[in-house]
């Protein structure tokens, strides 16, 4: 079965490919020749995921799933949320995003946060939604060289290391994206 994952993000694609069984051929937007910047104009993660999946299905006629992920920080009323990738501007620069967040949280006692991933699947002319959430907190500085995005400053609950320090296999098992993908894969079986 060929299934499009509506992303150009190689890190995200690699994380998901590590979880997908061999009978599913997972391809990216690049693989299908889609180089468009798909608009993410929704006000929720679920809406943005659905917009991306719909774009691929409508324009390429392929079964597709798309995700949208946000980091929601309690002390900042859920910021950056739906704007996580563009928190510090349209450049989508992870270091700038982390620096802005760390500056906003400077000296703040409440550093609790959670990552949420929403996955929209368009398959056989039907639409499905899956969700994964991981609780944790924002560290006071960046640590670790793995992962991507906010991983160097997010420490999942029950762990003493950030996502950027945790091995990929462990991260895939406990992360928001890993949990949502597992729900998607269970459904596809």
Cα atoms in the Cβ-side hemisphere of radius 13 Å centred on 113:
29
Domain CATH number, residue 48: 3.90.950.10
Closest CA relative to residue 30, chosen from 50, 10, 3:
10
Distance CA 71, CA 73 (A): 6
Is 104 annotated in a binding site? The answer is no
Is 143 annotated in a binding site? The answer is no
Closest CA relative to residue 39, chosen from 27, 48, 30:
48
Q: How high is the pLDDT of residue 29? A: 96
**pLDDT > 90 in the chain, percent:** 77
Is 177 annotated in a binding site? The answer is yes
Express each pLDDT in 26-61 by its tens digit: 999 999 999 988 988 999 999 999 999 999 999 999
pTM (2 d.p.): 0.89
**Residue 70 in contact with residue 81, Cβ under 8 Å?**
yes
State how many domains the chain has. Answer: 1
Annotated active-site residue in 36, 54, 68, 96: 68
Q: How high is the pLDDT of residue 6? A: 96
Distance CA 23, CA 13 (A): 17
What domain range is 134 assigned to? 2-188
Active site residue 31: no
């Amino acid at each position: 079965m060929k299934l499009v994952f509506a992303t150009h993000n190689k890190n995200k694609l690699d994380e998901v490919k590590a979880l997908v069984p061999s009978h599913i051929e997972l391809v990216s937007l690049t693989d299908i020749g889609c180089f468009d910047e798909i608009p993410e104009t929704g006000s929720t993660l679920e809406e943005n995921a659905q917009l991306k999946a719909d774009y691929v299905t409508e324009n390429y006629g392929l079964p597709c799933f798309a995700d949208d992920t946000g980091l929601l920080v309690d002390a900042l009323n859920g910021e950056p949320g739906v704007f996580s990738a563009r928190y510090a501007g349209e450049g989508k620069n992870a270091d700038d995003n982390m620096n802005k967040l760390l500056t906003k949280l400077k000296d703040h006692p409440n550093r609790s946060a959670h990552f949420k991933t929403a996955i929209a699947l368009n398959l056989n002319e039907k639409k499905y939604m899956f969700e994964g959430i991981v609780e944790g907190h924002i560290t006071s500085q960046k640590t670790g060289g793995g992962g991507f995005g906010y991983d160097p400053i997010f420490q999942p609950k029950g762990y003493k290391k950030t996502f950027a320090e945790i091995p990929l296999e462990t991260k895939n098992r406990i992360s928001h994206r890993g949990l949502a993908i597992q729900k998607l894969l269970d459904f596809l079986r």
